[in-house]
Structure 1
Amino acid sequence: MVRCMRLTGVILSLLLFVANQATAAEQNTQPGDVRIIIDISGSMKDTDPQNLRRPALNLLVELLPDNSRAGVWTFGRYVNMLVPLDTVNASWRRNAKAKSSEINSAGLNTNLVDALDKALWQMAPDSGYQHTVILLTDGRIDMDKSGGDPTTKVNSAERQRLIKEVLPKYIEAGAKIHTLALSNAADLETLQQIAMETDGLFLQANTADDLMPAFLKAFDRAVPAEQVPLTNNHFDIDSSIEEFTALIFRGTSGRETQLISPSGAVITQAVADNQDNVRWHHDLNFDLITVSGPEAGEWSVDADVDPDNRVQILSDLKLSVSGVPANLFSGAPIDMNIALVNEGEVVTEPAVLQLTDISMQVTAPDGRTGSKLLSDPENLPPEGVFRETMSRLSMPGEYRIEVNAIGRTFQRRQVLTAVLAEPLKVETEPFPDQQRVLITVTPQGDSIDTGLSRIIAKIASPDGSSVIQNMEYSAPDQKWVLDLTNEKGDGRYEITINIRGVSQGGKTFKSKPEAIVVDFPLQGVVTAPIDVAPPIQTEPMAEPVAPVVETENEVEAQLPPEEVDAQVPPQLPIPEPVVPDLADKYAEQTEVEVVEEDEGIAWWIYLLLGITNLAIVGGAGYWWFSRKKAGSASEAERVVPANLDLGELDDADLEAGDFDDFETDGEEEIPAGGRAPTSMGSDTNINVAADDFAIDPEDGADNTEDGDDWGEFDAEDELKKADDDDKDPFGDDDDPLNKG
C-alpha cells in the first residue's frame, strides 16, 4: 500500500510536469522586469558616507539588457519614483544616470513597507515579464514619529501589513525580492524573511565598499547574464558573440584601463569616444566597456586584476544553469541542471559535447573551494542536460557556485550566489547528574509559524534499534524540546533531526541539521568546546557542548593529518587521507546499508521474507506468462500495442498517504550510528587543495542508503511541492531547459 501511495504521488507529479512544461517554457523566455528600491533615510550618512549608492545604481543601469524593463524608487518618510518604469534603451539609461545624482540621505523615516507597496505598480503574473526587486536599506521599518522605536504599535502594524498584505501580492505575481542589508543596524530578520518568502537572495554588506559586489550578486540573480571566463585579465571571444561588456574595477593605483584586441589594437576611453561600436562608461571606481561586433580571438585588459572583474556577452550560444535556489537549508540537496543552449534549443550533438569540458567550482563561506569535472566524453547525457547534486551544505553564509563550459572554439561561464541562513537553531545541553541531554530547536525571531512547523527526531540507540518521534513545542519556552535519556542502555545514541518549517507568510522549507551524537554515561561537563570540522563547513548548526555531545565528523579524510590531529577528539578514530583517483571518478561509491527499525527482529528474517515474496511473485508471473503464451501460440507474429493500458485505479490506489519528503527530494541517507556518511567520497575531487572541501561524488544524485523513509510528512506537502514546481519543472523559474 505504501508503494502504491508513492507511485500515485509520482504519477501525479509527472502529469503536472507535462501539463505545465509549455507554460514554464513560455515564462522562461520572458524579458526581465527589474525594480530597484533604495533607502535615502538619514542614517545612510553614516553607513554610506561616500554615497556609493550612486555608482552602484549606474552599474546596474549599464548592465541591464536592452528591451528589459526597469524603474527606480527611493524612500525615506515618503516614496518617490526616481526613474519611471519603462523599457531599457539608450534614452532610459541616460535619464537613469542623470537621476542617480539625486540620491541623498535626507529622509526622516524608513518607509520600507510603502516603498514595496508602491513598487507593485504594473506587476502581475500575466504581465509578460519576469519580475525582480532589488531592495537596499540600512535600517528597519520606522514610521513612528516619536523616536523610531521598532516595537511601537505603528511599526508593528506596518510589519504585519508587510507580511499579510504586501508580500502576498509579490508572491502571486511570481516576483523575487533580493534584499541588501547595509550594516548590522538593518532589520536583518525582516530582510531575511522578505527574501525567503519570495525566493529571493538575502545579502549583507558590512561596509559601503561591499555595496558594489552585493549589487552584482543580486543582479546575477535578477538578470542572469552570459559570461566568458576572465583569467588574469585575458578572455576569449568566439565568432558567435555579437557583443561583450567588460566590467573592470580600478584599484588604488589610479591605472588607466585599456582594452587590447586580438590584432593588437588598443582601446582607451578617449579612443572609444570616436568609435561607433564602443560604449565606455567611466565611474567612481570602475569602467564599463561595451564592444559591438567584436573581433574574434583572445582579448586582454591592461588594468588592475580584481576578483569582481567580468566579461558579459551577447550570443545565441549560452550556458544554462538551473536548480540553484537563492536560499539554502542545512542538509537539503541542490539538484542542478546544466546544458549548452543554442538559439533556445538544448545542444545534444555528441560531436560538440564530447569536445566540451563542463566543470563546477564551489566556494564556501569560509573561503574553501572544491572543484569537479562534470562531463565525461564516454558517458554523455542523451538529452544534453548534465545533472549534479550537492548535499550536506550546513555552514551559514554565502556560497559561490561557478560553472564553466570550455569547448574547442568557445568558452562560457555562469556564476550564482546562494545563502544559507537557518531560521531555526539547534542546541544541546547535557545534565550529567541526571544522565540526560536536552535537545532544543528554537526559532530565530518571530518569522516562523510554530503552529504549522514540525520537528521530527530519529533516535538510533546503542542496541541497534531506532525510534522516530515528534519533538514537542513548549509554548512558555518558545522552542521544540527533546529530553534524551539512556533508556536503551549505555552507549552511543545518534539523533537526526528533520525540520519542516512554515513561515508566517506560509512559505515552507525543509532542513536537516547535522546528526548529534551522545555517549552515555555522561562523564561531566567540560567548558572547552570541541572543534570538529565537517566536510563543507567549519562549525555545526548546534552550538559546541561537552565532549559527550559531539557533532558528527563526516570527512576527516579531506583534511591534512596535522589538521585532523588538531581538531578531532582523541577518542574518535582518524582515517587515513584519501588520495583523489581521477581514473575512478565515475565508479560506484555509495555503500548501501540497511538500518534496522525497532528491536527484536533480526536482519536475516527480513532477508528470508524478501526472498520468499520474490519467489512467490516470480512463480505467479511465470505461470501467467506461460498460460498467456500458450493461448496465443498460433499467432505468427507478436504485435506491440501502441498504448499501454494500466487499467483503472481503485480508490485504494488513490488514497492519500504519507510521503517521505526528504526521500522524494533526493535527500541523503541517515547513517547508522558510529559510521560516517559516504556521500563525500574524495576520489572524485579535481584539483582540491589541502584547505578545500569536496563536492559530492558522481553518484551523489541519490545519496540514500536506508531510504531515510520516515513517513513523517503528509501527502499534501508532496502534492504542494509538485504544484510549486509548476512554474519551473526543473526547480528554477529561470531555467530555459524546458525545451530539452
Structure 2
Amino acid sequence: MARLLAVLLVLICSSSAYAVQSFSTVDSDSKEEVEKRAMSLIEGDLTNKLPIKGQSFRIDENVEEITLLFFREPGSKPLVLIKPDGSKWYDTRYPAEKVTWYTDPNFDIIRIKEPQPGPWQAAGRIDEENKALVISDIRFEAEPLPSPLFQYEELKVEGKLYNGDEVVKTSRFRQTVLLDVLFVSTNNSDFDNFGSNPSRVAQFEDDGRGHDERAGDGIFTGFFNLDVVPGEWMATYEMTTPLYQRVFESGPVEVKPLPVEFNVIQSESVDDNHQLVVRVNEDWIDPQSLVINGETSFPNGEVRKFTVSQIESFPHSVEIANLAFGKHLIDLDIFATSVGGREFEARIDDFSFIAKEPPPPEPTAAELAQRQQIELERQREQARLEREAKQKQAMTNLIIIVVVNIVLIALALVGLWWFKFRRKKVAVENDEAEAEKPEKSGKK
C-alpha cells in the first residue's frame, strides 16, 4: 500500500486524557495545559503540526494509545524505535500483545498500547519534513444523494475528509486513506432488494483523474454506478487506513427501476431490420428530455453507433441493422431530466438479444403441387421396390424349398441304395457259408 507521503506522527489518544509534547516541552506542564495544547492542534485545521526535535518526540504519561506514522526516504529500511529506557523495537521484533506494526516501502505505521512515558527516538532514514499531528474524530462527509435514484444511474458525488470539525487539508495525509462506497440492503421485505448482497458502487479519489477535477484540493470525488436491484439501500462509506477501518452510513435511499425501458422486436425476414423499442415512464421523467447514445456490436464483428433525441412520441423504434444471425450486444447511455427537474444519466452495458434465422416462407400452390407429385412418385417407387423385394424373397424361398427337397430325395435314394447293397452283401455271405459246409463234411 505504498504511497508518496511526507513524514507524519499520528497520535490517537483515549477520550479521557491524552497529550503530546515536543522533546523540548517542560515536564512540569499541567495535564490541563497539555490537553489544551493537543486540542489546539485539532482546531488548527491540521496546518499547525507538532514538529519533532530531530528524530525525537515525547509521549506524555496520560497517553493510553498512540499511533506513529513515519514516512521514510524511498527504498530505505524500516525504522527502529528506541524507548525511553534505551531498549529497541524492530519491525520484526516487538511485543505483539501491545504493538501493531505495519511496514511499507515508503512508511512505517506503529500502534502502541500504554506506551512508556518519556522521550522516544526513531532511528532510520526519515524524510526531512517529518511532522506530528493529532488525529481526533476522523470522518468522511459526502454530498447528500438525490432522491429517488434510478437503477443503472451514474452520478458524480463529492465529499470531504474531516478531522474533528476541520477539513483535512494535508494532501499527503489524505493519500493514506481509501474511501469505498457500498450499498447495503436494508432488508425491508417491502422492496425487491430484500436479502440482496452488498454492492460496491464507487470509490472516492482526490487524484485529479477520472471525474475528480483537481488533485489534492481536499475534495474527494466518487462516480457512482448503480447497477443494483431496485429497492431500499443504505449508502455505506468505508474509510480504510493500514491499521484501522471506519464506516459511515447515509440513508436509507431508494433506487427506483430505470424509467426508460428497452425491448427488441426481431425481424421475421432477412430483408428487414430489427427494431429497438423505447418506452418511458412519464411519471418519473420528462419524455422530451430523453437522449440515448447507443453502440451495437454485431455477431459478424461489426460495430455501429446511433443517437436518438427529441423523441416526439412513445413507444419509439430504433432500427438495428439485420447483418447476421447470433448474439447482438448494445451499450446504452441514457440522459434525461426527472419530473422534479434533476438531470441524470444512466448506462446499460449488458443489453443483448439473439437474432435467429427466420423460418422459410410458406410454399405456393405450384410448389405444393410439385411436392405432392414428388411425394406420389416417391410412394410409387417405394411400392415398386417393395413388390420387387417380395418377389425376390418368394423366389428365394422357392429355391430353398426345391434345394431342400432335392437334398432330401438324394439322401433317401442313397439310404435305399445302401440298404439294398447291405442286404445283398449279407445274402452273398450267407450263400458262401452254406457252400463251404458240404466240402468240410466230405473230407471227413
After TM superposition, the score normalised by the length of structure 1 is 0.24
Higher relative contact order (CA 8 A, sep 6+): 1
The structure with the largest alpha-carbon Rg is 2
After TM superposition, the score normalised by the length of structure 2 is 0.37
